[in-house]
Amino acid sequence: MEERPTDMAPVHVLVFPWPLQGHINSMLPFAAGLLGAGVHVTFLHTEHNLRRVDRAASPRLRFASVPDGLPDDHPRSVAHLGEIGRSLRPSASAAYRALLAPPLSARSHADGGFPPVSCVVADGLLPFAIDIAEELGVPALAFRTESACSILAYLSVPRLVELGEVPIPVGADLDEPVRGVPGMEGFLRRRDLPSSCRGHGAEADELDPMLQALAKYTAHSCKARALIFNTTASLERSALAHIAPHMRDVSAIGPLHVISAAPASATSLWREDDGCTTWLDGHADRSVVYVSLGSLATISREEFAEFLPASSAPTTRSCGRSGRTWSGRARAPLSRKPWTRRARARCASWTGRRSETCCGTAPWGAS
């Protein structure tokens, strides 16, 4: 991004991600790009997450926090996403409002601090952040870390329900085509939709509460001044074109991890296993199978073993990222298992972007 002219009034953008690793991965590089354009940035974490990241700031970057209302020992895992959302809004709203309130912002600037917040870029999963900003007269934009195709599917949920395509019946053929998502009629299958679109057990005819929430939050983005995607028009031109009529404006600005990389220490909620990169450096090019499970996945020993047969070849090894696998509490690291050594595999509890780049992967969106 180009530097702003020095005679313009200072711009201060508050960036507020959903408090999970994959969302921070997208939105902190976005904040770094704003810094490169001469903009002041406040990056807003939850108090729990702010304690876990590198807080190294710059003259135009500061990290702030709001409470999420959950106890310190809460797992904050994929199984608790609804609980996180229900707790975050009532717990964070007052502190968030104070950051935007003109009297406080103006006093900070008078003391030599940051200028008043002039714009908010909030995760699309935080509709209250958009509502409060607009209520206070601060323009708000929504940012979605998922693909445009994914967002289009969530926008289409009412139509999918109307057509009887969602919820997907238990035991149904998952290769059956889905007709209710515009532009994808020729290739979209039931199995391509989020798992929350599938019926479960005795309540198979009812919409999953998580799906209802995601569809509601996605529709709410039309109230923002614009919807920003971490994607490119060259990849998702059709999906972006179908989303645009529902929004006030749409921008595709990715892939952000390539365009405007942020320091790894500032993005990661967990300590990275630097030894994984050293291990990779000791192997020939194209000899490693890299399995990235993200930050929320839960995987068993048996499931992980399915990746190992390819590692028995003389020139092939595998490097797995176990993510942070919670099932109430963190599981034991898979790297302690002797069967990983026999398969010439290395498991890391969390690896950095440099390891992923060495393996030729391009992580996109939320984990």
Confidence of residue 61 (pLDDT cuts 50, 70, 90): very high
CB of 346 closer than 8 Å to CB of 333? no
CB of 355 closer than 8 Å to CB of 280? yes
Helix, coil or strand: residue 335: helix
Domain endpoint, select from 240, 267, 294: 267
Instruction: Output the CA angle 246-247-248, nearest 5 degrees.
Output: 135
- Residues 236, 98 share a domain: yes
What amino acid is encoded at 153 in this protein? A
What does the pLDDT average to over 103-107? 50
In a domain, 177, yes or no: no
Cα 118 from Cα 102, distance rounded (Å): 10
Q: How far is CA 225 from the centre of its chain?
A: 21
In the numeric block, the tokens 């057509």 are attached to: 163
Measured CA distances, 118 to 59, 316, 351 (Å)? 17, 53, 36
- Residues 256, 348 share a domain: no
What amino acid is encoded at 72 in this protein? D
Cβ density class 294-305: b for 16+ within 10 Å, e for less: bbbbbbeeeebe
DSSP string, 310-327: GGGSTT-EEEEE----BS
What amino acid is encoded at 283 in this protein? H
In a domain, 155, yes or no: no
In a domain, 136, yes or no: yes
Cα 31 from Cα 259, distance rounded (Å): 12
- Residues 223, 337 share a domain: no
In a domain, 139, yes or no: yes
pLDDT digits (tens, 9 = 90+) for 109-124: 543 578 999 999 999 9
In the numeric block, the tokens 């409060």 are attached to: 132
- Residues 133, 241 share a domain: yes
In the numeric block, the tokens 């529902």 are attached to: 246
In a domain, 205, yes or no: no
pLDDT digits (tens, 9 = 90+) for 6-56: 556 789 999 999 998 889 989 999 999 999 999 999 999 999 999 988 777
- Residues 312, 220 share a domain: no
What amino acid is encoded at 335 in this protein? S
Q: How many domains does the chain have?
A: 2
For strand 250-252 and strand 288-292, is the pairing parallel, antiparallel, or unpaired?
Answer: unpaired
In the chain, DSSP finds a helix count (H) and a strand count (E) of: 15, 10
CB of 142 closer than 8 Å to CB of 130? yes
- Residues 299, 263 share a domain: no
- Residues 119, 244 share a domain: yes
Give the residue numbers annotated as catalytic, written as ranges.
23, 123
| Per-residue confidence (pLDDT) for residue 272, from 0 to 100 | 67
Domain endpoint, select from 250, 267, 284: 267
End-to-end CA distance of the chain: 26
Phi, psi of 142 (to 5 degrees): -100, 145
- Residues 292, 256 share a domain: no
- Residues 102, 244 share a domain: yes
For strand 119-123 and strand 140-144, is the pairing parallel, antiparallel, or unpaired?
Answer: parallel
- Residues 259, 281 share a domain: no
- Residues 340, 226 share a domain: no
Q: Which structural domain range is residue 112 located in?
A: 12-148+213-267
| Per-residue confidence (pLDDT) for residue 367, from 0 to 100 | 32
| Per-residue confidence (pLDDT) for residue 32, from 0 to 100 | 92
pLDDT digits (tens, 9 = 90+) for 200-243: 765 667 899 889 999 999 999 999 999 999 999 999 999 999 99
- Residues 239, 110 share a domain: yes
HSE at residue 357, side-chain half, CA atoms within 13 A, is: 7
